Structure 1
Amino acid sequence: MSSYQSESQLEDALIQRLQGKGWDKVHLATEDDLWKNVQSQLGKHNKTTFSDAEFKRIRNHLEKGSPFEKAHTLRDRFHLTRDDETSFYVEFFNTEHWCRNEYQVASQIGIKGRRKNRYDVTLLVNGIPLCQIELKRRGIELKAAFDQINRYQKDSFTAAGGLFQYVQIFVISNGVNTRYYANNRHQSFAQTFTWADVDNKAINRLDAFTDLFLEKCHLSKMIAKYIVLHQSDRILMVLRSYQYYAAEKITERVQLGRQNGYIWHATGSGKTLTSFKAAQNLMEIPKVKKTLFVVDRADLDHQTVKEYNHFQPGSVDGTDDTKSLVKQFTNPNVKLIITTIQKLNNAISSTRHHEAMDALRKERVVFIFDECHRSQFGDAHKRIVDFFPAAQMFGFTGTPIFADNAIKRRTTKDLFNECLHKYVVTDAIRDENVLRFAVEYVQHMDEEAKEHRSKEFFEHPDRIATITDWVIQNHHKKSRGKQFGAIMCVGSVDALLQYYECFDAKRKAGEHDLKIASIFTYAANEEDPDADGLIPETHFPSDSTSSVSTPKRDRLVEIVNDYNALYGVQESVLDGKGFYNYYRAVANRVKSRDYKPFDPEQGVDILLVVNMFLTGFDAKTVNTLYVDKNLKYHGLIQAFSRTNRILNLEKSQGNIVCFRDLKEATDDAIALFANKNAREEIIIGSYDEHLAKFEAAAADLFAIVQTPDAVDDLQDENAQAAFVKAFRDLIRIRNVLATFSEFDETTLPVHPQDFEDFKSKYVDMAHRLSQTEEEDVPPAFDGIDFELELIRRDDINVSYIIALLTSMNLMDGEGEDGKKKAKQYRKRIFELLQSEVSLRGKRPYIEKFIDQKLPMLGPEDDIHQAFADFWSEERSQAFKTFEDEHGLKDQEFQALVSQMMFSGKQPLADDVMKALKEKPSILQRRKKVETVLEGVKDEVVPENWTVS
């Protein structure tokens, strides 16, 4: 008898516990049973019964749309014309009184799509499956359950009228570890969350998680209030536990009294979403006249404006026109306003708006300030308090201002009273909501300079040239072959201009091909004297430029001209509006790696700044910060935190490269915002420490197999699984090692060629298992994740293959020895195409080039150009074939795809319709648009068309 709890036993125990919590068990053996149950439960919920004819109309409505559109359907009411011609509005889910719904639990519902699947445990609300729970027995890696749900998404969730596409929340558990996440098939395992109590203590065990999270009212509340329908990406998002508690604490504070408060949540943990949800909650409280969500203008980019207006129509506009804000204030139908601190300050400071604004002065107005550590310590805060004496104020910050880092300013507590909820950086790292940092110090100073640390020393041309050379030499490692982007911050505008000129001169000399962009405000505050190491507020230039600022503005104009030439655009910074547009354009380009597919020609490799972009700016694919400026306390933590957003397995940490001695300042900042013993939790070990871990992992691998060929002799599945786990550990450590400047693969205890050969065996094993039916996978491999993302070699790409082809082509004309070497090169190329994950999608095209085009080329021909021409021809043909198949106009479709590649956002349905030669009927329109968009993602602009 097994000594551990089986999956079926875990399932039985869960259902019993749910029944004890008031979930009614129901047996749904067939698809027909499932729909009959929906008919019955919807009737019960709506206090009526639906005839078969009436339910047919309801079912037709429920079956329409994508998962995102069905999320809207769930929250809307359906106008039903009943059999007797009367009108009835069908409610699918009560979002206002979320406990007033019907609750059922079912197990092993079988649905047949591309293949038959049985779902472990399904929670149905009003008959509709809204929460799906996938279980694995104890000891199985949790990601196996995540992968299982992904297979359901592909195989069978579209079957049965797409009823399972209504699932809002997935839960995965092996009894000991439990996570939840929103129904978004494009997210990674990193976007699965652990629920916790209000003190951030994780609730991992399934029984405790069931009691708290799966309690009927709580689950309903999460779906009703804390699932976010992200309009631009057309995906569902769900708040994490600390976000939930923060929003709830603010709501409770407003309902029970007039006191202020602030939320301390670690930078990178999603404060903006939390604060916005809190604002949405407050607008539902009748006694609150207006709720204002206040951000800095630097954070209110075009995409943010669009999102907020999707969440709450008319709540925000992206203009600098204060009149529009005053109109929102005076419109009684507008309860939620999103504005900038700058516009709010103008509205209450200008006497011409006083008459219009005066009616609200003594009303119950609630302010929520995002990033309050940098927006609430000037005169603007005092003006707001004086103008709205009855206002209630809440702030969100990742780095509060305490006495230690106040630097002649008031503290966050002085302004907002007590902290209502705390989630510090150590919490966020523990929960894998942000990454740790790898801090590397590169000192370029002699002993005398260490004593003086003068501006002249730090900005000496020789020093700047040396650092520039270091960045050029090491950026490939830090960014994993430019897969990630970087920010470089320096001490003054003068230093920035020197760095920019140095990078530019070396690019023109052919020493690098990095795309460098830069921005600084020529207003006085950007000239950071490094007096206190804190990042000042960003003041965008006005239309009037002082004579002192003109030379710096003119230098920025030159930089912008280079930017325009590089990207084929026409930005201008000659006035305030133009500067702001350039700021937003740069921000979008730095973030462009976040969007798939990414065009390397449109991205920024390194953004060069003084203070801008060091706080408030989020880009998941920025992984490195080069620092040549003094930073301390909240300025340091904010700047470092530009690099530590969670993305995928390849992004293992945020890389910080310091060209100044910031060790003491880093330790002080960690002690202030976490605790004095938290350094090892926040900063990963040194290169030598990770090298020691690699050596230990290599010894474990060699204890199983001495050589790559020995892998073939492992007949026992347990031994094979042991090899997989041992080599996976080696890959994980090597992934971190490879980002250090000291990294040299030739010094590792596993020879580079042996590592590649081991990797080939590893990938072959993963490929064989991927072709095996799930029920035939050997038990030893049950739930093992091969983490294939980690074994991509950044230097083995299309360019590398072309270099090998060039060498092979040259050797082919050098007699028998040349032909023998060429044959070896050909074998090597095909081995790489077989084993290299990043080349899989490109493999058919590269093989076609080798077989059909290469034999026609002579030793003197330019292989690189020939391949570029071939690639362009194949891509054009793919475009043409797609256009012909779907009836698309060439120019309109090309423009649509280009915009999609740059913005990373799905085009609007109307834009797709304009590209169609023939307009489909109203009934066919949605399906046609979805077919085209899916095809664009799968065929026209997939990653295999990127030549890298």
Structure 2
Amino acid sequence: METVPHYPVPTNPTDTLIVNADYATVIAEYDEPREKNGAHQSEAQLEKRLIEVLISQGYEYLPIHTQEDLLTNLRTQIELLNTRDNEPLALSDDEWKRLLTDHIAKPSEGRAEKTHRVQKESRIAFERDNGTTRNITLLDRRNPNNNRLQVINQYSVQGSDGTHPLMNRYDVTILVNGLPMVHIELKKRGVSIKEAFQQIDRYQKESFWAGLGLYEYVQLFVISNGSQTKYYSNTVRNAQVAKYGNAQERNIKAGTESFEFTSYWADAQNHRITDLIPFARTFLAKRTILNIITRYCVLNTEGTLLVMRPYQIVATERIINRVLIANNDRRRIGTRQGGGFIWHTTGSGKTLTSFKTAQLLAETDLVEKVLFVVDRKDLDYQTMKEYDAFEKGAANSNSSTRILNAQLSDPSKRIIITTIHKLNSLIKSETNHPAYSQRVAIIFDECHRSQFGDMHRAITKRFTKYSIFGFTGTPIFDANSTGALGATTESLFGERLHEYTVVNAIGDGNVLPFRIEYNNVSAQYRDVEGKTRDEDEQTRELLNSDDRIRTIADYILTNYAKKTNQGSGYNYKGTQRRGFNSILATSSIEAARKYYTQFAHLQAERIASHEIREDSALKIAIIYSKPGAAQQGFMSEENFDTDDLNDEDWQLLSDAVGDYNAMFGTSFSLEGNSFENYYKDVSQRMKNRELDLLIVVNMFLTGFDSKTVNTLWVDKNLRMHGLMQAYSRTNRILNAVKPYGNIVCFRDLEENTNEALGLFGDKNAASTALIEPYSQIYAEYTQKATELLESFPIGATGLALSSEGQKAEFVQTLGEVLDLHNKLMMFDEYDEQAQLIDDYTLQDYTGTYQDVRAEVAEAHIILEDPDEFAASTDEEVSEAQKTVEAFEQLVFEIDLVKHQEVNVDYILELVARLHGAEDGEERDTIRRSINRAVHANPELRPSEDIIQGYVEEVVKNPDVYTDTAEGLIRYASGIRENEEQELIKTEKLNPEKTKLFMDRAFETGEFKTTGTDFPKILPKIRRFGATKSAYARTKKRVEKATRGLYERFRPFLGR
């Protein structure tokens, strides 16, 4: 008999919202003992045990293995779900065929459209045979418990990778009303769950689209090896480069993420539930999984499906529950007992939590209005931008008190975002607004400075039927309470409803740890840099001296590439990026001005001395306004009003905005709303990695989220709340190449840092939040690098790997070395002398690494492609099985291989050296260097023959190719034209549309097959009936071929 967590069924089965604690989506605390399993529990045993648990929880098991059986069951489930007056819907065969072809499995629709149907429009207006219209529901979002859950396993489908037909067999799938909506991929204990992640990624490319494409309805994926289990949404997998095959298999789409964005499930105490069986008993409990699919997913405007994490769901439900309790006990309305605060660390997704909370409160009529209040105008913009990204038009912002007044009077404006200043102004000017007596929920986001004053009292006095809540990543406790009120977060909002600290977030991998260095640029400034305040005139003069600021600016320019990892290449939002960007936090407008001026002078000097090229100078911007008074430990407030600036401050900022306009072709100024628009543009360019360095005083140090920011340069005394907020600008997760947030302090903030981490984490927070010191990481690197060099020496003929076991050991060891090398790259101490493996040797190693990866890919094809399997000898099949088994516990760290600093510029430098080569031996050496570098880089490998051909052309005709960069573009363009024409001829594509499509891909740096452009290039094939599968195969084949063409020529012709 299974022990299952207590999830009581409500007496009202059509209850529209889970609010009672007994019905919580996330179990309060899971303390069931872990099942004892054999150490070598197989994948089949895991699958069997999982299905047993699901059956015990009320799932119906079905022995469905083919599309025909899946469709038969789907029809039955749709008819049952759409029962009226106890009579199931009865569709005729013709109606079912039309429902399937025109709606559920429309040939022109893919995953994006199907996800939109599940999340936004799960009801279809369907015309019956008799001409009447019937609403047919695919998923009952309003009443989740009306949906029926079934489980199937070993479903088989034949797909294709664009070249070979492939037979895929899926592990376990959960059907919701007959549609596959949760897919579970298992690996035996001891095998990395990244293998399951990568397998799902391959399924998406090879077969989810096959047949009628019903597996494109999957919303959530679960990956597990028995002891480690994680979940993620259906858009996470798209950004991951396929680990089997080459870079041509890339499928990049804007807004999607990689393995780093998978999540752990947990109980309400933040205890991770990682073992598969406890995970199944909680996350896959019927009520929980249905709530997650129907209520706790957000399909944003970029088409990215965001699935909420357990702590976000707990916070949402506890706020809603608090409102409901107050509605049932009217004495709590308008008091602290009717509210509370959520302590979720900065970077953990508070805005998504607040959005979903506001949305559910508004949808369920528990309140008439939801006010989301921020304390600064710039945060008002940031929040509105994020809310609009979640759902366009879901919330309403306001640029004036007059607009806020109108929104509060309009019943259709259910969610309103405003600043505390506008709300306070309204309260002063409007003493009898109707909204004051309405039932409202007021949610404050990080309103510490303003909230600790008269505004808080005025707001709570004027509104009489409020429930008030606070979201904060850095609460005010007695230990850090300041000001006349001496107030704490709890004294203002009520009790703590949930907490998720920086220690929890880093432990779960939801934010990155920090690497902090305290850099004293000159001994003469050591004493003043150690002062916790810089208020006296003498201290300010020393800290803002031209000599000190020039020295620091010079250090930043010299070390920028190292700290921001400019050697790394990665794809972000469909565009290739190199390295990350950074923010410089200064203590005052005077200091900010001086930094901007010094950077301009130093870069001009470096360009004049040919130390750097003009086009490689850092793109630097600056922004500030006159700050208000600051409480200790908090950022002072800034707004978009530049009229209060003195002449010197105004002029420098105006000139800097002019420099920005010249840099980006914009036309901003300090007049009217133009400065606010400048702020918005700077924000977007920081997020898109178009700016390298942003100089600020306080702006952008709170509330600004950018995954591409990895470094904060600090010349400013920070404490408590302000310190944690500023540091947290750097620690958003992105990919394997960004291992931590990089904090470079030019003040002695060590004591302040430890104090803040202790307050907002726990007494041991520093050991979790800060990465290991250089000496510890370097010792590990030394051990692993020595092991690699001794175990796998590179001889005159290269690296010899004789067995599968030796290859697997090599892959494992090199992966560990690359990971440690990546962590060390941003340390000042890690210079060329400290690197134990020189660049040439590392390129040889990574080239072999790529060769082994290709062998593993071939082994998978032999085992999974029916034609290849049939054509292979028994010995070849046996060898393929050995290869797959040898590598099943390993993951190819391709992101770290790509990170090595080899790009087209590097190759062109080597090609340019051919011109000056004095003899054949020197030319041969350069050739070998080029071949080695290209072979080692997964981005350039598809273009290997192009580069080699170009090298030979340069050697034969040096006078023709004096400009090697322009020559490479010419040479590559000629080959591209030939290959493009051959592809058009072979696949019978539309010539004009194909050329236009490919030109646009190269111009934008983004290969997009969604939308209407890509289908226009395809040959004319009917999209329905018996030829649908032929159309799907052709589309897949052409997509792979054109994507391959794009990847092959993108290094030379793309953005």
TM-score (norm 1): 0.89
Per the TM alignment, residue 461 of structure 1 is displaced from its structure 2 partner at its CA by 1.1
SS of alignment partner, residue 199 of structure 1: coil
**Pairing 1:80-159 to 2, within 5 Å after superposition:** 80-114=126-160, 115-159=166-210
Contact 2:707–2:734 (8 Å) recurs in 1:
yes
Q: Give runs of aligned pairs for residues 573-592 of structure 1, distance below 5 A.
A: 573-575=670-672, 577-592=673-688
Name the % identity.
Answer: 36
* 2:941 paired with 1:840: yes
Conserved 8 A contact 1:134-1:171: yes
Residue 665 of structure 1 pairs with residue 762 of structure 2: no
Task: Indicate if the aligned counterparts of 1:247 and 1:277 stay in contact, CA closer than 8 A.
Answer: yes
Who is 1:336 aligned against?
415
Partner of 2:581: 485
Q: Which moved more, 1:287-296 or 1:123-132?
A: 287-296
395-404 vs 555-564, greater mean Cα deviation: 395-404
Partner of 1:275: 354
- Tell me the residue number matched to 1:802: 908
How far residue 668 of structure 1 moved from its aligned partner, in angstroms, is: 0.7
The reply to whether residue 370 of structure 1 matches residue 445 of structure 2 is yes
Query: Does residue 1:384 correspond to 2:471, yes or no?
Result: no
C-alpha distance after superposition, 1:244-302 (max 9, x if no partner) = 11111111111112411111111111110011111111113324111123344313448
Counterparts of 2:218 and 2:272 in 1: how far apart (Å)? 24
Q: Which residue in the other structure is 1:218 paired with?
A: 288
Equivalent residue for 1:9, pick from 36, 45, 51? 45
SS at the partner of 1:745?
Answer: coil
**Match for 2:599 among 499, 503, 509?**
503
Compute the displacement of 1:431 (Å).
Answer: 0.4
CA gap 1:501/1:647 in 2 versus in 1, 3 angstroms: same
Q: Once the 2 structures are TM-superposed, how far is the Cα of residue 3 of structure 1 from its aligned partner?
A: 6.0
Map of 1:582-621 to 2, 5 A cutoff? 582-593=678-689, 603-621=690-708
* One-letter amino acid matched to 2:52: Q
Change (3 A) 1:86 1:10: same
* CA separation of 1:714 and 1:241: change in aligned 2, threshold 3 A: same
- Alignment partner for residue 518 of structure 2, among 441, 451, 471? 441
Change (3 A) 1:362 1:323: same
CA contact (8 A) 1:809 1:859 kept: no
Q: Relative to structure 2, which stretch is displaced further, 717-726 or 871-880?
A: 871-880
Aligned residue for 1:55? 96
1: CA distance, partners of 2:600 / 2:995: 38
1:250 equivalent to 2:319? Answer: yes
2:475 match: secondary structure: coil
Question: CA deviation digits over 1:435-460, x for unaligned, max 9?
Answer: 11111121024367506761111111
Q: SS of 2:367's equivalent?
A: coil
1:788 is matched with which residue: 889, 894, 899?
Answer: 894
Structure 2 equivalent of residue 238 of structure 1: 307
- The answer to whether the 8 Å contact 2:625/2:638 transfers is no
Deviation at 1:349, TM superposition (A): 3.6
Tell me how far apart the structure 1 counterparts of residues 525 and 65 of structure 2 sit (CA, whole Å): 81
Contact 2:188 2:226 in 1 (8 A): yes
Q: Is the 8 A contact 1:525 1:539 kept in 2?
A: no
Residue by residue over 1:510-542, the C-alpha shift from the partner in whole angstroms, topping out at 9 and shown as x without a partner, is 15533343333332439x8xx845322332216
Are 1:557 and 2:654 matched, yes or no?
A: yes
| Superposed CA offset, 1:666-686 (max 9, x none) | 111111111222212111122
Counterpart CA distance in 2 for 1:773 and 1:929 is 23
Contact 2:1001-2:1054 within 8 A present in 1 as well:
no
**Structure 2 residue aligned with 1:599:** none
The alignment partner of 2:113 has SS state of helix
1:384–1:515 distance in 2 versus 1, CA, 3 Å? farther
In structure 2, do the counterparts of structure 1 residues 935 and 80 end up closer, same or farther at CA, with 3 Å as the change threshold? farther
Tell me the number of residue pairs that the alignment of Structure 1 and Structure 2 aligns.
Answer: 916
Contact kept, 8 Å, 1:21 with 1:216, in 2: the verdict is: yes
Q: Tell me, which stretches of 5 or more residues in structure 1 are unaligned?
A: 594-602
Give a deviation string over 1:861-901, Cα, whole Å, max 9, x none. Answer: 23244346656888899999999947569999989987x66
TM-superposed CA distance for 1:700, in Å, is 3.6
Instruction: Report the secondary structure of 1:644's partner residue.
Output: coil
Q: Offset of 1:838 from its aligned partner?
A: 3.6
User: Which residue of structure 2 aligns with residue 36 of structure 1?
Assistant: 72
Paired residue for 1:179, among 230, 252, 267?
A: 230
Whole-Å separation in 2 of the counterparts to 1:242 and 1:708: 54
3-state SS of the aligned residue for 2:480?
Answer: coil
Given the alignment, which residue of 374, 377, 402 partners 1:297? 377
Could you say what secondary structure the match of 1:146 adopts? helix
Higher relative contact order (CA 8 A, sep 6+): 2
1:692-723: CA deviations, max 9, x gaps? 11112234435633446798544232232122
Q: For residues 855 and 373 of structure 1, what CA distance do their matches in structure 2 show?
A: 70
Q: Indicate the RMSD between aligned Cα atoms, in angstroms.
A: 3.6
Q: Does 1:522 align with 2:566?
A: no
Give 3-state SS (helix, strand or coil) of 2:151's partner.
Answer: strand
1:57-78 residue CA offsets vs partner (Å, 9 max, x unmatched): 2112011323222123234211
Structure-2-length-normalised TM-score: 0.81
SS at match of 1:110: strand
**More displaced, 238-247 or 669-678?**
669-678
Q: Tell me which amino acid in the other structure corresponds to 2:641.
A: P
Is structure 2 residue 556 aligned with structure 1 residue 475?
no
Amino acid in the other structure paired with 2:623: F
CA distance in 2, matches of 1:117, 1:195: 28
2:511 counterpart SS class:
coil
What is the CA-CA distance between 1:572 and the residue it aligns to? Answer: 1.4
3-state secondary structure, aligned to 1:361? helix
Mapping for residues 542-553 of structure 1, pairs under 5 Å: 545-546=643-644, 549-553=646-650
Question: Which residue is 1:597 aligned to?
Answer: none
Please say if residues 297 and 341 of structure 1, whose CA atoms lie closer than 8 Å, have aligned partners that are also in contact: no
Structure 1 residues 860, 701: closer, same or farther in 2, change over 3 A? closer
Deviation digits for residues 408-459 of structure 1 (CA, Å, limit 9, x no counterpart):
2532122211111100001011101111111112102436750676111111
Paired amino acid for 1:795: E
Matched residue type, 2:377: R
**Structure 2 residue aligned with 1:419, among 479, 496, 506?**
496
Distance change >3 Å, CA 881–CA 272, structure 1 → 2: farther
Cα pair 1:425 1:673 within 8 Å, conserved: yes
Letter in 2 for 1:176: S
Q: Larger deviation: 882-891 or 491-500?
A: 882-891
Q: Which residue of 2 aligns with 1:596?
A: none
| Shift, 1:373, TM fit | 3.7
Q: Is contact 2:230-2:263 (8 Å) kept?
A: yes
2:1051 aligned residue = 944
Per the TM alignment, residue 498 of structure 1 is displaced from its structure 2 partner at its CA by 1.1
Tell me the alpha carbon deviations over residues 102-154 of structure 1, each in whole angstroms, 9 at most, x when there is no partner. Answer: 11110111112212211100100111111000000001000000011011101
The aligned amino acid for 1:563 is Y
The answer on whether the counterparts of 1:841 and 1:944 sit within 8 Å (CA) in structure 2 is no
Residues 1:804 and 1:703: Cα distance change in structure 2 (over 3 Å)? closer
Distance in 1 between residues matched to 2:1038 and 2:434, nearest whole Å: 52
Q: Distance in 1 between matches of 2:828 and 2:49?
A: 52
Check whether the contact 1:875–1:945 (CA below 8 A) recurs between aligned residues.
Answer: no
Q: Which amino acid aligns with 1:144?
A: E
For the structure 1 residues 374 and 366, does the alpha-carbon distance in structure 2 shift closer, same or farther, using more than 3 Å as the test?
same
The whole-number CA distance in structure 2 between the counterparts of 1:422 and 1:765 is 46
Q: Secondary structure at the match of 2:833?
A: helix
Worse overlay, 336-345 or 431-440: 336-345
**Cα distance in 1 between the residues matched to 2:841 and 2:549:** 40
Q: 1:838 to 1:892 in 2, by over 3 A?
A: closer
Report if aligned partners of 1:316, 1:339 keep a CA contact under 8 Å in 2: no
Q: Does structure 1 retain, via aligned residues, the 8 Å contact 2:625–2:639? A: no
